[in-house]
A and B are shown apart, each in its own frame.
Chain A
Amino acid sequence: MTQFLSLLLNGISLGAIYALIALGFVIIFKASEVVSFTHGSLLLLGAYTIARLSDTLGFFPAVLVGVLVTAVAAFLVERFIINRLRGAPVISLAIVTIGVDIILLTELIRQIGPDILNVPHPWGGDSVRIGGVGISENRLIAMGVAGVLIIAFFVAFKYSSWGVAMRASAEDGEAAALMGIRQGRVSALAWVVAGVLAAVAALFLVGAPTPGVSAAAYTVALRAFPAAILGGLDSTGGALVGGLLIGITEALAAGYQEQLSFLGRGFGEVAPYVVMIIVLLVRPSGLFGTKELTRV
């Protein structure tokens, strides 16, 4: 039972971080209809900036700068590339984001170099025990922060003028434009928000129990992809549920690897994708995604 609870708690905490990243995917998709593959390198950029500046600036200012740098980078990608290619086929845009991702990632790997960069979180590697279940403080704080950010996002999405504008553009771009909504601005803001979420996710991803900033942190962003897809790529609520589902699935499948060994070793890796495929087979638009309706 302790094992189950422990894995569950770990899965939820991991899922909360995935949800932040997945939410970024979804916001960008809703605002600019682009599936952004740049997220992995944006996340790494945030982590790298925080790690590099922590020594000179101190932890909290470094986090602020890191979040800012990531948001600005996302903004620049949108302004100088995505915005200028407006009207290009969706597939081309997705491929362009892969290109941007590779360029940014290569440079970051070069900068990170031989080291595993450590982010000096004030809570360090400390852990707390809840009943018999141990969890790192880093993950516990991550859950809290992710919760607050997600709630704040939903409130803004529902009530702020940006949220309304974005929902309107996502619903019907042309009609929204005719109503005077500046889609360029909506899209830019969406990228900035996604950048901020990625940087915050990065901050916690590189803390205990993961080792620090290395190129591998990048691949985590890719795990958030099935989360966004199975939730429904255009559903913010779906990103949240998808993130948690993927986090829990991954933790349980890895933790019960021995019992699942009839499926082959290393099933934890595959499990999120299996879940995604099953969900999509049953609901092709994801759990909460909008069904495409074609009237004949």
Chain B
Amino acid sequence: MTAGKRLRGATVLAAAAVVAVSGCSTKAPESGGGGGGGGGGGGEGEVTTDVGIEGTTIRLGVLTDLTGVFAALGTDITNGNTLYWQDNQVCDTYDVELDVQDTNYVPQTGVQLYSGMEPNILAMQQTIGSPINTALAPEYESDSIVNFPSAWARTLTEIPGTGVLGATYDVELANGYQYLFDQGLLQDGDTVGHIYFEGEYGENGLAGSEAVAEARNLTVVPAQIKSADQDMSAQITQFASEGVDAIVLTVAPAQTASAAAVAQAQGLDVPILGSNPVFAPGLLQGPSAQWLKDHLYVSSPITSWDSQPELLQEYQAAYPNTTPSLGAVFGYAMGDVMKQVLDSACEEGDLTREGVLAAFGELSDVDTGGLLVPINGFETGVSPSTQSIILRPADVPGGAEVVQEAFEGELAADLAGGE
């Protein structure tokens, strides 16, 4: 039995228990009047609601990118979201309807689309892109919106109600380094070259490298690039001349392909460690496929399709002619965490925005049945998880297999922050 199946079984049971214990009513009267945080009459079998619930239908917002630079990722995550809510109900009562809008990865468009959907949604199932999340942060805060981004930058953990699902990039890379050390692929005092995007994603990844460098006496050769850069020749050449013992990437798949191609051309036979967004299954159709299989290690909060065969089957039936990517697994897992938040709010008898936000804040030890690394909880400024999964490219569905299940590296707890 797979985690996905087990998970669904467990959530159905849990939801049934919730209904039995709290008497979560099938009628969901509109109580009107926003706010009214916390309390509510779980015991009386009444669930207080305000915005985004009509009858037994909950509406959640999705601000994704279906036509912009992250269209690939956006489509997959949204497919995952949709598939999840086809299979599941909140509180065994409420169906969930997604209001999917395409931002084209333009913050201004995102803000406009949000103000259009805001009066009709309870929470945000997905907001893609750090710039859009950052642009909407003040509105999410004033509207008491619970939101899940598909990014892991530390700055996102500062937004109240926004749940980063996994370790932040610095913690993620520190765990990746740990794996390299444990496998004897990297030693104390070695030199690593780190190619990173300008902006929050790259900077946060580099912070991970610098923290590890300090603890393990590594020398880091940083190379900053823009997301539009396609040719990593100069950077890898520089690394080769510095004699690096590993290459670290906080980039997108296109740059991973280029870095591998150049490293191969220059005979730079060292491991490549990547943040989770560096990988896409399409990399295995390129000329550097074999080199990547031999050299790439990806530190990720998301498991591979390889370990979720039944979910994969379901996904492929629902979306034939698509390449299953980690994004789709993530989309499915996002749905699961949202369900846990909404179920617990329903259990408290308060499905108002305030109620949902309160439930979100109290969520701890989130288990998604192995789809994601265990999440400790959502505390402002703290990495929600200290664990990562190590993936390697392989000829399996989704293109990656798990070589190390979720684990916590030596530096993770310190880097994560909090108590």
Q: Name B's A-contacting residues (CB within 8 A).
A: 67-69, 71-73, 75-76, 198, 221-235, 237-238, 240-242, 253-258, 261-262, 264-267, 280, 282-283, 285-288, 291, 322-323, 325
B286 touches A209 (CB 8 A): no
Interchain CB contact under 8 A, A127 and B286: no
Complex Cα–Cα for A136 and B258 (A): 11
Contact indicator B265/A209 (Cβ below 8 Å): yes
Would you call A6 and B280 a contact (CB within 8 A)? no
Measured CB to CB, the closest approach of chain A to B349, in angstroms, equals 42
CA of A215 to CA of B286 in the docked complex: distance in angstroms? 16
Closest to A261 in B: B222
A114-B71 CB under 8 A given contacts A2-B241, A124-B287: yes
Report A142 CB to chain B, min CB distance, Å: 12
Interface string of A111-154 (1 = CB under 8 A from B): 00111101001001101010000111000000000000000000
Q: What's the minimum C-beta distance from B249 to chain A, rounded to whole angstroms?
A: 13
Contact B323 A114 (CB under 8 A): yes
A84: interface (CB < 8 Å): no
Q: Are B237 and A255 within 8 A (Cβ)?
A: yes
Question: Is B237 within 8 A of A210, CB to CB?
Answer: no
With contacts A106-B67, A114-B325, A115-B323 known, is A211 near B224, CB below 8 A? no
Contact A257 B261 (CB under 8 A): no
- Identify the stretch in A63-71, A161-169, A186-194, A262-270 within 8 Å (CB) of chain B at 4 or more residues: A262-270
Q: How many chain A residues touch B (Cβ–Cβ < 8 Å)? A: 47
* Separation of A146 and B240 alpha carbons in the complex (Å): 28
Residues of chain A within 8 A of B225, CB atoms compared = 254, 266, 268-269
Known: A208-B287, A216-B230. A127 touches B282 (CB 8 A): no
Known pairs A134-B267, A266-B226; A211 contacts B325 (CB<8 A): no
- CB of A219 within 8 A of chain B? yes
CB-contacts of A192-222 with B (<8 A)? 205, 208-212, 214-217, 219-220
- Closest A-chain residue to B76, C-beta based? A114
Check A214–B71 contact: CB distance below 8 A.
no
In Å, the complex CA distance between A135 and B287 comes to 15
A266 near B258 (CB under 8 angstroms)?
Answer: no
- Is B234 a contact of A10 with CB atoms below 8 Å? yes
Which residues of the other chain, B, contact A265 by a CB distance below 8 angstroms?
198, 222-224
Within A252-278, the residues touching B (CB, 8 Å) are 252-258, 265-266, 268-269
Contact indicator per residue, chain A 95-106, by CB within 8 Å of chain B (1) or not (0): 000000000001
What 7 A-B pairs are tightest by C-beta distance, nearest first? A125-B287, A114-B72, A211-B257, A127-B265, A254-B234, A3-B241, A265-B224
Across the interface, A216 reaches (CB within 8 A) one of B67, B198, B221, B228, namely: B228
Which residue of B223, B228, B231 has the most chain A CB atoms within 10 A of its CB atom?
B231
Residues of A within 8 A of B254 (CB): 116, 210-212, 214, 216
B253 touches A211 (CB 8 A): yes
In the complex, besides A110-B67, A266-B225, 9 extra interface pairs with C-beta distance below 8 angstroms are A114-B325, A116-B254, A116-B285, A118-B282, A121-B287, A124-B287, A205-B230, A209-B231, A254-B234
List, in ascending order, chain B residues with CB within 8 A of A6's CB. 237, 240-241, 266
Question: Is B72 in contact with A115, judged by CB distance below 8 angstroms?
Answer: yes
Query: What CA separation (Å) do A109 and B69 show in the bound complex?
Result: 8
Chain A residue nearest to B325 in the complex (CB): A114
Which residues of chain A have C-beta atoms less than 8 A from B242's C-beta?
258
Q: Give the residue of A7, A106, A219, A269 whose beta carbon is less than 8 angstroms from that of B237.
A: A7
Q: Which residues of A contact B72 (CB under 8 A)?
A: 113-115
